[in-house]
Chains A and B, each alone.
Chain A
Amino acid sequence: MKGFVRNMKPLDVLTGEQIEQIHSATLHVLRKTGVRFDSKRALQLFEKNGCMVDHDTNRVRFPEGLVEECLRRAPSRFHVRARNPNNDMVWGGNTIYFQALSGTRTVDLDTWEPRTPTRKEYYDAVTVLDGLGHVAIVPWYTPWFGFKHIPPVMAMPEGLAARLRNTSKFTCAGYSMGCEVFNIQMAQAVGAELRTMMAASPPLTFYEETIDAAFRIVEAGFVLLPTSGCVYGGTAPATIAGSLVSGNAEIIAGLVFAQLVRPGTRVIAQDFSFPQNMRTGAPAFGSIEISLHQAAFNQIWHSYGIPTDGGVCYPNSKKIDYQAGYEKAIIAAIGALSGTNTLWIQGAMYGELAFHPVQAVIDDDIAGMLGRFLEGIHVNDETLAVKVIDEVGPIPGHYLNQPHTRKWWKQEQFIPSASDRLTHSEWLKQGKKDCIEIAKERCEAICNTHKVDPPLTESQEQDLERILKEAREHYRKKELLSAIEWEEYQKDLASPGYPYS
């Protein structure tokens, strides 16, 4: 998978001195305040490696030396394997990859009301993401958290199965109720690696379920994404600097954990934090402070030499509209310019609450535009074009008929797929279509023509079904799947179009 290479200095929002101040404040918090880990196994591991552990409060206090050493141990650049080797990536350095951004439900494009997607919509949306040129990663919960008739405990394994079937791009899986056990098996069955998050519950806490899942992911040799979903003013200090300190303390604690479980574990640090909307209590998606936070985050973590996932482009708008456009574009541009290695953009609508493939098609153009910008200006004898300028000369000379033009224009210009670029009169004659209507058509075309490359083999398909069956039985035995849920689920499983519709 080709990423975009940033051929310019990153945007720096902090001075070297400010980075140092934030870093030493973070070390202070890790040493003095510490982080709560609700896991006996983890506490023992930390204690064995020189941390101060209070077993009554589950508080772990980290010595500076250990933190610095673990930051050094984590690789600064690494390879990740997708189902199709052509979609493998190298994370780190100046490269950026774009990834789809999920939502819980789909949205009706006429009424803008949310509703649960169907199995077919889920699989089709994965196909759209597989068909979009700038989607490199189809992460957890993507496109949606689940679909109709699927019991909540099976939403993640069913979602991962859909992604493994309908895309061969790099994918990820979350954790909940131990489902990572089945997720790991499914990925291994198709020869793919997974990235899984280790999400702190701010402030300064990791629950047992999270830690158990992180043990499993790290022991499987997969990629860990320690993250802090802090909300500044709510679960972190209201100041951007303060929330960077508490959020980074959480992420560093996760990173130290990973390096102690398995030295050299591939880690990508994520900034998934937002200001608190002080009226509604929800995260203030789409706000400009997110960009300040993410830019500072990217700068700090690059100073540690750790790849970053510091560009989460959630809009606050409930529609695909002007507000969604500016919120997404501004957050994406600043995340990309400040050097994030992966950036979430395609598909998400209001916060995490909605996703639509039509939005993903439009966002894919934002990704392409930014990627083109980051690649910068190539200056060499051929691009300076002195010879061609001399040959063409003044009027009546022009450049449209020059081989130099034919060779270079497509490398120099990004051509969007959903933007309206017609002249005004053409636009009138062609039905006054806007980018949403163009994106709808493109979405439909991808669904009708795009084929995943390669599809799963018959034996891989059998393995997935076997693992899904084991998961269903496991959750029934554990009584996490009720009789009513099971009845509805079985009807879905008996559908003639299973698993695709």
Chain B
Amino acid sequence: MMSDRPFLEPGLEEPRLLIEEGPREKLPPARWLRRHLFNNWYNTAITVLLLMVLGYGGYRFLLFLFVSGRWAPVRQNLTLFMVGRFPRSELWRVVAQLIIWSGALGLAWGAAIAGARFRAAQTGVPYREDPVLARVRRYWGLLALLLLMLLLTESVGPLIVAIGAIGAGAIMQWAGTRVPGQYSDLLWALVGMLAVGGYQIVSGFHGNGWLWMGVPLAAGVGGLTRRVNWQRPRRVRIIRLGSIFGVLLLSYLFYTFVDLRGVGWDKWEGLYLNLVAATVAIVLSFPLGLLLALARRSTFPALRVMSTAYIELIRGVPLISLLLMGRFFIGFFLNTDTPLSALTRAIAAFTLFTAAYVAEIVRGGLQSVPRGQIEAGQSLGLSPLGVTRLIVLPQALRAVIPAMVGQFISLFKDTSLLSIISVAEILQVRALVHTQPAFRGFGIAETLVFVMLAFWAFSFTMSRESQRLERRLGVGER
């Protein structure tokens, strides 16, 4: 559960094929069968045995799926599984968020494609487009989940939402690929704004939310003002700082005085909560983990000792003990007047826990940067901070993206532990479904299979993506 990637240990490399495979030879079916299934007596025996087992198992499984399975608990509680007891009158927020996020994702995807094309054109490498079929094959897990849920629904609403979200994603992806490469910074700022805005459509535009919105806003305004080409450079600097400050002030004022309230995360439940809690925890734990990793690699013994102690302490205990700590006595440590909600404590525990693992991942990345790079930076006269920021971190972080995706997957799977502290994520929602009089002790296996499928579809797709990223980024190949 904790570390899903077997090759995190330093000094180990992912195995890879050294020789390019030639075009696969096509065998006629009879010869193919003989070569791959019946090439000697024991393989024949194994094949026959497995075919028998598989036939019986497959028969029982199909029977379960289509005949004996009692799917009513799933079918009648689909909304409950997705969003739990989220206030039904506010459900439009989730729908809007889905569409906005889908658009942001599409835009980011398009921007990535445009960037890759741009770089390919600059370096003269031919750019290879992914065929649509490859994409469908890559995301078949998620598509299967979506299709299954649409089959199970009893109204057309979800279908419309799904079409809307996919449509928004497709349109934004198309738009993203049309934006010329030199505007990519503005595009990424827009993606950030959409991501934060999508989140705040549900959580509300109020309170400290302006801080989150401020980052992409400032990046966007900074990018815009950099394009102002005036004669006097001092004026430009003043305008840049002034406009960034002005935008931040505006957003602060908006969030403080207009104060559009939404639905706080204590009311988020179901699969929705699993996804959001994992995302929030990984976003929050990343800066902490980065600092811990830098401290563990630093030449200051005091920092190194403290950071190592923290990391090893956290990695030595199970997540659930941290969740119990959050549940029973995190409140004692803080002087808050209102007790923190169960979910806030849990996310604090998730963040503290994940930070230790993120730190180890980032440390692996830092170690993978050759010493020569650091020495080159020093010989250019960069300060230690400059070497870290400009030379080490960009290379290290690029190398750890796949491992971070892996960590995100295991965090997503760990959100199922929220059920143990009675937060209604999807596994707990399933328990709630079985408290309904109609479904007490009824369809236990069916609801569990559905929950498994929900976890599986997301984790499987993400792990496929991370493997692809690994190949794309060529981690460990230089």
Please indicate whether A and B come from the same complex rather than being unrelated chains.
no
Q: Which residue numbers of B lie inside 8 Å of A, CB to CB?
A: none
